[in-house]
Structures are given as structure tokens and as C-alpha cells.
Amino acid sequence: MIRCINRLEEFQQGSLIVDGIEMIEDVKNIEAIRRDVGMVFQHFNLFPHLTILENLCLGPIWVQKKPKAEARDIAMKYLERVKIPEQANKYPGQLSGGQQQRVAIARSLCMNPNIMLFDEPTSALDPEMIKEVLDVMIELAEEGMTMLCVTHEMGFAKKVADRVIFMDGGEIVEQNTPHEFFENPQVDRTKTFLDQILNH
Amino acid sequence: MKTFEPAPSRPAPKMTAGIIAWVKNNLFSSIPNTITTIFILVLLANVLPGIFDWLFYSANWSGETQDDCVKDGACWVFISAWSQQFFYGSYPTEEIWRVNLCLILLIITLLGSFFVKKGLREKVFVPLFLALPFISILILDGSWIGLEQVTTDYWGGFSLNIFLAAASIIVAFPLGFIWALGRRSSMPMARSISIILIEFFRGVPVLALFFMGSVMLPLFFPEGTNVDKLLRVWIVLTLFMAGYMAEVYRGGFNAIPAGQYEAADSLGLGYWQKTLLIILPQVIKISMPNILATFIMLFKNTSFLMIIGIFEILSTTQAALSNSYWLGGHAQEGYLFVAGLFWTVCFSMSVIAASIERKLNTEHRKELLSAALPVPASQP
């Protein structure tokens, strides 16, 4: 579902309204939407031929047409927010998975998005590195960033989410507040799911 | 109480290192191996002395004319007497510095495009590299920049082989990329045109293309204009090369993970920004070994130009062989020299290619791998 919001994939049925614009086949709208929607991928997708700093400056310079110095300041600001400013001049391959994912988060933040999409941001990471990425996300949530996050980290969802949506086979099965969702699931499919993951 | 008794020492291991061990392990390890080794040694012993004698010991090294070749061996006088022709064709002797200047520029920009620091490289050397064919034409012809004009009829020799190959590949570099982009495009028009062009220039032998170039290209120019022969050859070589380059690039495109496109899209980059900033640098990096291999192929193909009457090195050699003062049958020396020259240049390019490859490996391969093959998911 989140890949439909910035139209990396097309949906088959129904309609989708993002930021007051209906997502139909209209290229101009899509680029406007993508500018305001940040996205973090499962496999980071940093640009391997650019340094961390260049990765971060790319959007501000080329899409938002900001001067280079300003883009650099923005990039450093967000790099500090994800706590790795010392890595600015390295290449992505020299960083650990958790650091790369934090850079990816900073890259989206540089575009000053209205909403951020996370596509299983921790499922390609070592268990130890998951925490550092989740910590950054929790901070963001506390600062009031709107985030839509696909995750298998139930503890994280329970703690941070305002609303939990449970999907299966491409359809929404149940949505509720985290408390209600985890303590008092309504649908059978949700119950079996929670049983499966909580009992081991 | 039992006292500690060390186990008896083991015998020293068999010799595994050093020349003698290597010879024993690789050349005389079994009876058939031994027989083969001895056979080859005898063969070499029979052949090599003759070759070396002809090449060096009985060869004639100094002199001016054919009459100085008195010994039985190779007559290298032939090569030295004609060396200027071999390298520069009939380019006027007092203007040869222009050819040398272009060669030096070529080498500098080529090396600069790979080995200089990133900022300088992208701002100075790569644009200079792309403009070099046109700069070289200005310098070599001379009439536009106030030097004495040397028409293309006088250009020739090995330098012409180098210039033609370099000029073609430099133009084919961007052209091939555009064709490769066209081939991946979703627009049916751009797609089919690109496929037709690529497949045509890859599917027709380069020699046939040269003939078609001399016969058919004039049809496309306005009536009455006499298009320079070298220009036609350049166009043909460029298109031929672009076809191959497009396929090399295609391999590079396929090696780029889909995530790179998605990440560029999700930043809001437009098509050309995405292509030029994200995809192109990575494609070139991945394709570099193949690009250089293709270039070596093209360089060797320039010797075909002899057939349509361009005075590149092979036709210069033939002209020298049929010169009335040198009718002593120096074909062996001549062709050996040409072969050696091509081999030297191609081999040095292979060496440069290998070092560029190594450099790219250390710089970026790790990153590329980490983008393409992420750590496997580990569920808590």
C-alpha cells in the first residue's frame, strides 16, 4: 500500500487521494507528491557512487533548486539528527547497515517531507542494528513527523503507533488503536496472527 | 611418575617451493608430462635460435638505404628509413608537432578522465575529452586557426589509426548511451528506432559498412558537396562503435538494482536527472572493462581502412614495400613491425584497463555490492 502512495506501484482497484490530489495517471501530480513524501526502503537504496553528503544534497539541489551551501547545511543538520555527522564524506559501502538506513532516513528528511513512508526499514538489518534505526524513528515520531511504517517489529508498533493497520493478501483486515489492536483484536485473522508471533 | 617424552620429530616436508620444486611438480610430474616437456624443449631449441638470429644477431640495424642490408637477417633499416611515414603518413615534416600535440592531448585527457580528483575530472577533463575530436581536427587541419592548412589527403600512418579510433569512440560514447536509453524507453517510436540502429550496425560487418559509407553516405548529403573521405570513415566507425557500445551499456543497465530507480523516483528527481545523476555514473563504472575491450576491437578494425584507400599504417607499409628503391622483399620486417606496433598499443591499453578496473573496484565495487546484495533479513 505505501508503494502506491508515491506511485512506485499502481493500484488495481479503488481510489487514492494523497494531500488532496487524486492519484490518477497524471505524471505532473506524481512528481509534486513525491517531493512531499519521503520514502525509506528495506534495502536502503543509497546511491553507491556518491558520498553520504552527496546522497543527502541530491534532492535539495536538483529537485528543490537550493544553493549548494544551503543544501549542505540542511544535510549536515539531519545527519546530526541521525547521529552520524562524522560519516559525511564516506561512501555508503563503508557504513554498516544500520548507519546506511539512518542515512536513508536523513536523505528523506532533507526534502522536508509532510509524511514519511517506511517500507520494512529494519528487516534487512542485523538484530543489533535494528535498535539504532528504531530509536531514530521514535525520536521523529515524538517530534511530530507523520509516518507510515510497514514493519514486523510488533513491540515498536505497539509503543509508537497511533493507529495500527493489519493487512493480509493485499487487503486491510483490521485497523485500530495499538492498545485495542494488541489487547482486544476483533477479527479472527488478527487473533491467529497475534498468537503466532507473540507465543514464541 | 611418568616423564614427558616428546613424540619423534616428523621428517622434513617434501620440497614444495622454489624453482626446482616447481619444475618437478609442473613439468615432470608424470611420464606423459615428462615426454611432452622434452618434446617441446627440443622443438624450441630447434626454432628459437633461428628466429633470434634473424631478429637480432644477423639483423642489419644501421644504414640509410637497402644496400646497407648486407647480412642475412632482418633489414631493420627498412623500418627506420620509413618510420616517419609509418607514424605520420605524408603529413609535412615541419608540421608534425601538430600531430604530436594531439597525441599528447589525447593521452592527458584520457588519463585525466580516470585518475584525477573527482571535481576537476568532471569539470575539466571529461568535457575536454568529449571535445577532443573537434579540437584535434582544428589543430591537424590548421586552416581555421591560422596555421598552414594540411588537407586530409596528407594525414596518415599509425597516428591516423589512433586518431580515427579515438575520435570514433569519443563520439560513440554518448551516442551509444542515447541508443541504449532508447532501447529501454517505453516510447514505441524511440524504442524501435534504437533497436533498428543498434541491430543494423552490429549485424553488418565493418568492412561492408565502410564500402556502404563511401558509396551511400554521399546520397544523404546535398548534391554537389564533396564530403571528405576521412569524415565519411569517421561517421561509419562512430555508428558502428555506437551499436556495440549501446549493447555494452545495456549490460550495465541490467546490473543496476531496481531500488536505485525507486530511490531516485521517491526523491522526486525527473527522468533526465535520474538518468544522468544516478544511473549513468553507475552504468559507466560497471561497463568500463567491456568498453575498453570494445575499444581495442575497434582500434584493430581501423586496419581495414586500407581496403578503401585510407593511408593508415597498413597501406603505408604496402606503399613502402612497393617503393622502387626498396624492392628487396622486406614484407616480413614490415608486417612484423605493424603487428608489433598494434600489439604494443593494445597490450598497453589492456594494462591501463586492468588498472582502471582495479581502481574502480577499490573505490566502488564494495558499495555496489552492498546496494545490490543487502544483508539477508534476520527475524528476531
Which residues make beta-bridge pairs with A165?
Answer: A175
Instruction: Judge: A93–B270 Cβ closer than 8 Å, yes or no.
Output: no
If you average pLDDT over residues B354-369, what whole number do you get? 63
Lowest mean pLDDT among A22-26, B183-187, B323-327: A22-26
Instruction: Judge: B257–A45 Cβ closer than 8 Å, yes or no.
Output: yes
**B159: Cβ contacts below 8 Å, ≥ 6 apart:** B87, B88, B89, B91, B99, B102, B103
Cα distances from B107 to residues A104, B87, B134, B293, in angstroms, run 40, 16, 16, 18
B253: closest CA of chain A, how far (Å): 15
Interface of B with A in 261-280 (CB under 8 A): 262-270, 273, 277-278
Instruction: Judge: A47–B268 Cβ closer than 8 Å, yes or no.
Output: no
Nearest to B207 by CA among B294, B303, B299: B303
List chain A residues with CB under 8 Å of B117. none
A38: closest CA of chain B, how far (Å): 7
List chain B residues with CB under 8 Å of A45. 257, 259-260, 262-263, 371
Which residues make beta-bridge pairs with A37?
Answer: A115
pLDDT for the residue numbered A178: 83
* A147, amino acid identity: M
If you average pLDDT over residues B307-314, what whole number do you get? 82
Check CB contact of B371 with chain A, cutoff 8 Å.
yes
- Say how far apart CA B262 and CA B268 lie, in whole Å: 10
CA dihedral A167, A172, A173, A178 (to 10 degrees): 70
Q: In this model, does residue A78 exceed pLDDT 90?
A: no
Cα distances from B279 to residues A124, B249, B253, in angstroms, run 24, 11, 8
Nearest CA in chain B to A5: B266
Rounded to two decimals, what is the model's pTM? 0.78
- Say how far apart CA B46 and CA B52 lie, in whole Å: 11
Here the cell at position A104 is: 536513508
Q: In this model, does residue B380 exceed pLDDT 60?
A: no
Q: In this model, does residue A24 exceed pLDDT 70?
A: no
Cα distances from B14 to residues B20, B30, B142, in angstroms, run 12, 17, 71
pLDDT digits (tens, 9 = 90+) for B32-55: 888 998 999 999 999 988 888 888
Instruction: Judge: A94–B367 Cβ closer than 8 Å, yes or no.
Output: yes
List chain A residues with CB under 8 Å of B260. 45, 47
Dump strand ranges (E) for A81-163: 115-119, 146-150
pLDDT category of residue B377 using cuts at 50, 70 and 90: very low
Residue of A58, A100, A126 with shortest CB distance to B378: A126
Provide the 8-state DSSP code for B10.
Answer: P
pLDDT for the residue numbered A182: 82
List chain B residues with CB under 8 Å of A8. 262, 265-266
Instruction: Judge: A127–B265 Cβ closer than 8 Å, yes or no.
Output: no
Nearest to A59 by CA among A101, A110, A105, A103: A110
Instruction: Judge: A31–B367 Cβ closer than 8 Å, yes or no.
Output: no
Residue of A31, A43, A152 with shortest CB distance to B259: A43
Which residues make beta-bridge pairs with A146?
Answer: A115
Check CB contact of B345 with chain A, cutoff 8 Å.
no
B378: closest CA of chain A, how far (Å): 6
Q: In this model, does residue B242 exceed pLDDT 90?
A: yes
The ipTM is 0.83
- Please spell the DSSP secondary structure of B160-211, one letter per residue: HHHHHHHHHHHHHHHHHHHHHHHHH-S-HHHHHHHHHHHHHHHHS-HHHHHH
pLDDT category of residue B376 using cuts at 50, 70 and 90: very low
pLDDT category of residue A2 using cuts at 50, 70 and 90: low
Residue of B270, B370, B375 with shortest CB distance to A125: B375
% pLDDT > 70, chain B? 92
If you average pLDDT over residues A159-180, what whole number do you get? 82
- Say how far apart CA A105 and CA B89 lie, in whole Å: 61
B379: closest CA of chain A, how far (Å): 7
A184: closest CA of chain B, how far (Å): 24
Q: Give the helix/strand (H/E) hosting B246.
A: helix B229-255
pLDDT for the residue numbered B248: 92
Q: In this model, does residue A105 exceed pLDDT 70?
A: yes
Q: Residue B187's CB: how many other CB atoms inside 10 A?
A: 10
Provide the 8-state DSSP code for B12.
Answer: P
Provide the 8-state DSSP code for B312.
Answer: B
Helices B157-184 + B126-141 axis angle, to 10? 140
CB burial of B166-176 (b: ≥16 within 10 Å; e: otherwise) equals: bbbbbbbbebb
pLDDT for the residue numbered B370: 47
pLDDT for the residue numbered B44: 92
Q: In this model, does residue B130 exceed pLDDT 80?
A: yes
Could you tell me whether strands A164-168 and A171-176 are parallel, antiparallel, or unpaired per DSSP bridges?
antiparallel
pLDDT digits (tens, 9 = 90+) for B215-224: 777 777 776 6
A108: closest CA of chain B, how far (Å): 7
B117 within 8 A of B359, measured Cβ to Cβ: no
pLDDT digits (tens, 9 = 90+) for B137-191: 888 887 787 788 888 788 888 888 888 898 998 999 899 999 999 998 888 999 9
- Say how far apart CA A62 and CA B267 lie, in whole Å: 10
Helices B96-115 + B126-141 axis angle, to 10? 180
If you average pLDDT over residues B307-313, what whole number do you get? 81
Which residues make beta-bridge pairs with B122?
Answer: none
pLDDT for the residue numbered A112: 85
pLDDT category of residue B378 using cuts at 50, 70 and 90: very low
Nearest CA in chain A to B278: A47
- Looking at per-residue pLDDT, the higher value among B207 and B373 belongs to B207
If you average pLDDT over residues A182-196, what whole number do you get? 82
Q: In this model, does residue B351 exceed pLDDT 50?
A: yes
Q: In this model, does residue B124 exceed pLDDT 50?
A: yes
Check CB contact of B376 with chain A, cutoff 8 Å.
yes
CA neighbours within 13 Å on the CB side: how many for B30? Answer: 2
Q: In this model, does residue A162 exceed pLDDT 60?
A: yes
If you average pLDDT over residues A154-161, what whole number do you get? 82
**B377: Cβ contacts below 8 Å, ≥ 6 apart:** A123, A124
At residue B254's C-alpha, the angle toward residues A88 and B241, to 5°, is 105
Instruction: Judge: B374–A43 Cβ closer than 8 Å, yes or no.
Output: yes
If you average pLDDT over residues B191-203, what whole number do you get? 92
Burial of B88 (0-12, 13-18, 19+ CB in 10 A): buried
% pLDDT > 90, chain B? 14
* Four-residue CA torsion sign, A146, A152, A158, A163: positive
**B292: Cβ contacts below 8 Å, ≥ 6 apart:** B349, B350, B352, B353, B356
Here the cell at position A26 is: 497524471
**Helix, coil or strand: residue A5:** helix
Q: In this model, does residue B373 exceed pLDDT 50?
A: no
* Average pLDDT, rounded, for chain A: 81
pLDDT category of residue A26 using cuts at 50, 70 and 90: low
Among A123-127, B11-15, B225-229, top mean pLDDT goes to: A123-127
